[in-house]
Structure 1
Amino acid sequence: MGISREIGAHYVQEKGTTFTVWAPEAEQVNVVIHGKLKQTIPLQREAFGYWVGLSEEATPGTRYSFKLDNDKELPDPASQSQPDGVHKASEVINPNYNWTDQNWKNLPLEEYIVYELHVGTFSEEGTFEGIVNKLPELKELGITAIELMPIAQFPGNRNWGYDGVYPFATQNSYGGPEGLKKLVDACHKTGIAVVLDVVYNHLGPEGNYTSSFGPYFTEKYNTPWGAALNFDDAHSDHVRNFFIQNALMWLRDFHVDALRLDAVHAILDTGAKHFIQELQEHVNHLEQQQTQTYYLIAESDLNDVRLINPIEQGGYGLAAQWMDDYHHAIHTMATGETDGYYSDFGKPEHLVKTLKHSFIYNGMYSEYRKRTIGTDATANPAKQFVVCSQNHDQVGNRMLGERLTKLVSFEMLKPVTALVILSPYTPMLFMGEEYGEENPFQFFVSHTDEALVEAVRKGRKEEFAAFAWQGEAPDPQSEETFNNSRLQHNYKNNEKQNQLREFYKELIQLRKATLKNTSKEHLEAALNEGETVLDFTHTSAGLRCIVNFSKEAQSIATDQKGWKVILDSADEKWGGPSSTYTSENTILQPESVVVLQATA
């Protein structure tokens, strides 16, 4: 499985702190202990350019930095805490925590109902503690797993998290490592699993000192973020080890249940064993050691089943991957948008195909990309695909960050979510969608380098060139942009929002009760003659879902005998105009969904 080497600062009670850093080109490395101790300790060089030393006096809370060849002091690339931000000294943390989740076992993947959230904007506090306070609401909604957008230390205190520069350090403004452990422990006590979004395809620009230590990057490839991380060039074993140790830390030391691997198509590796496969093998080994189950979930735009196929079949063995095709098929049908990458979608038959076969682009030519993409995923279990109608990318990478609430009618929100929650796939909600949050989710940063801020502003404008969006992009650096993106959580004082949330609750309960072992093999899907109504049935569960995308009422010609209506989004209790659908009168209200259960 390649090199496995612990890195960073590790404190052991009554023994002190061992410091390990990889700096293969350095002639001399010292660790500088700050504060009252004011020590400078020379480290000993070991094989492959690792430098190691012990300070018996350094304890949790001690600040330290590394000095290479008597040059300037730098934070630890594997720092687990940056209490004063990305440019200042690192901190030794206490590895011990009084965990209360000894009886916790990760949920089966098919029981995951994921809720993606951004720590800084989800709660009033904008911290891990703020999430803890809202866990009872998420539990009551029916959520079984939360997914945290990246929490690795980034510059300032406003960021989506994808500009992180210390992958091992938990963002100080969110509550640091202690706050994250408290959140995970509380989630497990509530019966909720924790998925953490990690970024192994690039590091952010500000506060990134890794290149001073060694060849963390390679010029072999160009990426949207500059030089690529070095996963397959000279010295790459140790860069791979850096990120593998990171993943193992979150799972082992923070009790995280699953990792969402950001944009794995940008992890560039032409070696014989791809980094992703090696990572999965290490996680398999950790599972055996810990007698616990962990999931790796990829984000990829390649529609490639190699990610999730078993290793013995030539795959990488991951548990699941996000599936954009499903989102795009729903979004284009609900909104009518066909700009940018949405130009590849918008046909009603796409929904039938993606329900039955997962990927729409499964070896098809993409007009938008001007090439053939994808592989056939028909044989892969439905639980391996995470689907949504909104997520941080699809909302936040719109110019104005509008949620579906602003793009479609209140009535349309209900069939859209039924397509996600009652699909055979692993459903994911984006924070606030369950009650129709009206605040946008916009892109925000808090860099201190003005040239970098300007580059970010320029880059955002260029991203929107392929879309026909009107207006001016919000300033990512402005605190107002961040504040505009915070959830209002006003559903208790808003009848419509509360009705929508109750509708979500009903669908989630329905899924839990009837769709425990969903599969594509036992799913039938068809369109009516006008291609405005989608009718799909989980045959083994006896559950049928009929969706009217049209703004007109639609009559259904199919045989309705043997079915009873158990939910109609047009019902007044869900804020609808009134239900008109019965087994005798098969009229669907505009923009509605009817769910039926087999009576025989």
Structure 2
Amino acid sequence: MPNADRSPVAGPVSGRRFSVGAEWRSGRGADVRVWAPACRSIDLVVLAGEGRPARTLAMTREADGHFSVLDAEARAGGRYWLRLDGDRLRPDPASRCQPDGPHGPSQFVDPSFAWTDGGWRGLHPDGHVIYEMHVGTFTGEGTWAAAARELDELARIGITILEMMPVCEFAGRFGWGYDGVDLYAPTRLYGTPDDLRRFNDRAHALGIGVILDVVYNHLGPDGNYLEEFSPDYFTDKYKNDWGRPLNFEGPPPAREFFVQNAAYWISEFHFDGLRLDATQDMKDASPEHVIATIVSRTRSAAGARSILVIAENEPQETRIVRPASERGYGADSLWNDDAHHTAVVALTGRREAYYRDYQGSAQELVSCARFGYLYQGQYYSW
């Protein structure tokens, strides 16, 4: 690939919102930054039509392993690669959009949006009806635009919160979202980043909050290039049920990649909170557990809005919802699957994996309805 205009440009420019990714500078192009201590050099390769390179800029290596460059000629909608060590073209790990999927080039995104929800004050924990939504199957079209047209009906039947299943980019044409690989990029399968913004804006106009399901216990196997930038994003210290664990105890930029991602969804897309998937596999022995950091950072990102942080946790550890003053993590509630699991056993007879501790009996269902939880300190083998 030709190295036209391969000249160093100082960076990063001041005033970034997040430490990595391509951040749009109105009238000044895009500031691109990545943490990649495993690389000797990184070039920003900006594409013209038909995927041909228009220009190549050498990124400046910073002392802590970040690489950065300001592309003054970048345009919103333009596409780019990061070239690692002179030969490997890879998407930006913090790409804001992957229009051709996780194996294609990244896209410069202008995040400015004409929000109309300035009067929306967010959510409080009590008195809600939550609807879990998979955008890809909610309508025939499977898009945010199509789902937005159904919001009036959801409001009419009394839904007050939508829990949107994971939306970050993943490989293939369909998925539940739990094997995402580009954590900052809303999947192209459901539309554009602005389509997601319009969905949330419309929901708020109808009095419906939207919380996002996020996965910080592993990444999917297909399209996951993160380790090529640094092996320190992952750890072999722990094991989990889903994939290689994420490293929350290593270098600060690795931990920040995930913590800032949580804040990104709240500030950039006006989500009203998060559902943290399988937190029992978010293992961390740091002085402050990463869940506590995510809770505090997302609340800060929300500003005056009240948000909800709900943690799925199979052992149902109460420290997750205890306040920091009681050595807890400060989440609002636990996502309890007891009723779901015992109902699945009753309906299908399945008893493998996390269903093994359930009988599917009428008494279990009654206990779930009466107490909210089936397991309240009993032995739980899974």
- Find the counterpart in structure 1 of residue 292 from structure 2: 277
- Find the counterpart in structure 1 of residue 245 from structure 2: 228
Distance (whole Å) between structure 2 residues aligned to residue 120 and residue 284 of structure 1: 29
Q: 1:239 to 1:112 in 2, by over 3 A?
A: farther
- Find the counterpart in structure 2 of residue 205 from structure 1: 221
Distance (whole Å) between structure 1 residues aligned to residue 370 and residue 71 of structure 2: 60
CA offset at residue 201 of structure 1? 0.8
- Find the counterpart in structure 2 of residue 116 from structure 1: 132
Distance (whole Å) between structure 1 residues aligned to residue 240 and residue 341 of structure 2: 25
CA contact (8 A) 2:121 2:304 kept: no
Q: Which amino acid aligns with 1:339?
A: R
- Find the counterpart in structure 2 of residue 185 from structure 1: 201
CA offset at residue 34 of structure 1? 1.0
Q: Which amino acid aligns with 1:228?
A: P
Q: Which amino acid aligns with 2:23?
A: H
Q: 1:307 to 1:352 in 2, by over 3 A?
A: same
Q: Which amino acid aligns with 1:280?
A: V
CA offset at residue 102 of structure 1? 1.1
- Find the counterpart in structure 2 of residue 372 from structure 1: none
Q: 2:90 matched to 1:71? A: no
- Find the counterpart in structure 1 of residue 272 from structure 2: 257
- Find the counterpart in structure 2 of residue 195 from structure 1: 211
- Find the counterpart in structure 1 of residue 6 from structure 2: none
- Find the counterpart in structure 1 of residue 320 from structure 2: 307
Q: How does 1:448-597 map to 2 (within 5 A)?
A: none
Choose 161-170 or 218-227, whichever is displaced more.
218-227
Distance (whole Å) between structure 1 residues aligned to residue 348 and residue 185 of structure 2: 42
Q: 2:46 matched to 1:33? A: yes
CA contact (8 A) 2:351 2:358 kept: no
Distance (whole Å) between structure 2 residues aligned to residue 303 and residue 27 of structure 1: 44
Match of 2:115 among 92, 99, 102: 99
CA offset at residue 351 of structure 1? 5.3
Distance (whole Å) between structure 2 residues aligned to residue 89 and residue 328 of structure 1: 40
- Find the counterpart in structure 1 of residue 235 from structure 2: 218
Distance (whole Å) between structure 2 residues aligned to residue 129 and residue 280 of structure 1: 30
- Find the counterpart in structure 2 of residue 400 from structure 1: none
CA offset at residue 336 of structure 1? 9.2
- Find the counterpart in structure 1 of residue 71 from structure 2: 55
Distance (whole Å) between structure 1 residues aligned to residue 180 and residue 341 of structure 2: 28
CA offset at residue 123 of structure 1? 0.3
Q: Which amino acid aligns with 1:251?
A: I
- Find the counterpart in structure 2 of residue 363 from structure 1: 377
Q: Which amino acid aligns with 1:262?
A: D
Q: 1:335 to 1:172 in 2, by over 3 A?
A: closer
Distance (whole Å) between structure 2 residues aligned to residue 169 and residue 324 of structure 1: 28
Matched position secondary structure for 2:244: strand
Deviations 1:9-45 (A, max 9, x none): 0011111100010001222221111116711111122
CA offset at residue 344 of structure 1? 3.4
CA offset at residue 193 of structure 1? 0.6
Q: Which amino acid aligns with 2:46?
A: I
- Find the counterpart in structure 1 of residue 11 from structure 2: none
Q: Which amino acid aligns with 2:119?
A: N
Q: Which amino acid aligns with 1:263?
A: A
**Which structure 1 segments of 5+ residues have no match?**
370-600
CA offset at residue 354 of structure 1? 4.5
Distance (whole Å) between structure 2 residues aligned to residue 226 and residue 342 of structure 1: 21
- Find the counterpart in structure 2 of residue 293 from structure 1: 306
CA offset at residue 346 of structure 1? 4.5
Matched position secondary structure for 1:229: coil
Q: 2:102 matched to 1:86? A: yes
> What is the number of equivalent residue pairs in this alignment?
360
Distance (whole Å) between structure 1 residues aligned to residue 366 and residue 102 of structure 2: 48
- Find the counterpart in structure 2 of residue 15 from structure 1: 28
Distance (whole Å) between structure 2 residues aligned to residue 139 and residue 274 of structure 1: 37
Distance (whole Å) between structure 1 residues aligned to residue 377 and residue 114 of structure 2: 51
Identity of aligned residues (%): 39
Matched position secondary structure for 1:110: coil
CA offset at residue 218 of structure 1? 1.5
CA offset at residue 101 of structure 1? 1.0
Distance (whole Å) between structure 2 residues aligned to residue 49 and residue 23 of structure 1: 6
Choose 129-138 or 345-354, whichever is displaced more.
345-354
Choose 354-363 or 197-206, whichever is displaced more.
354-363
Distance (whole Å) between structure 2 residues aligned to residue 171 and residue 127 of structure 1: 10
CA RMSD of aligned residues (A): 2.1
Deviations 1:228-280 (A, max 9, x none): 21112x32x22221111111111001011111111111112122221111111
Matched position secondary structure for 1:228: coil
Greater radius of gyration (CA): 1
Match of 1:151 among 156, 167, 170: 167
Q: TM-score, normalised by structure 2?
A: 0.88
CA contact (8 A) 1:303 1:359 kept: no
Distance (whole Å) between structure 1 residues aligned to residue 224 and residue 209 of structure 2: 31
Distance (whole Å) between structure 2 residues aligned to residue 125 and residue 327 of structure 1: 28
CA contact (8 A) 1:8 1:19 kept: yes
Matched position secondary structure for 1:17: strand
Distance (whole Å) between structure 2 residues aligned to residue 311 and residue 345 of structure 1: 36
**Which structure 2 segments of 5+ residues have no match?**
1-16
Matched position secondary structure for 1:344: coil
Distance (whole Å) between structure 2 residues aligned to residue 335 and residue 30 of structure 1: 55
Q: 2:351 matched to 1:339? A: yes
Distance (whole Å) between structure 2 residues aligned to residue 121 and residue 81 of structure 1: 21
CA contact (8 A) 1:338 1:346 kept: no
Q: 1:285 to 1:356 in 2, by over 3 A?
A: same
Choose 215-224 or 128-137, whichever is displaced more.
215-224
Matched position secondary structure for 1:139: helix
Q: 2:181 matched to 1:169? A: no
Matched position secondary structure for 1:137: helix
Deviations 1:532-551 (A, max 9, x none): xxxxxxxxxxxxxxxxxxxx
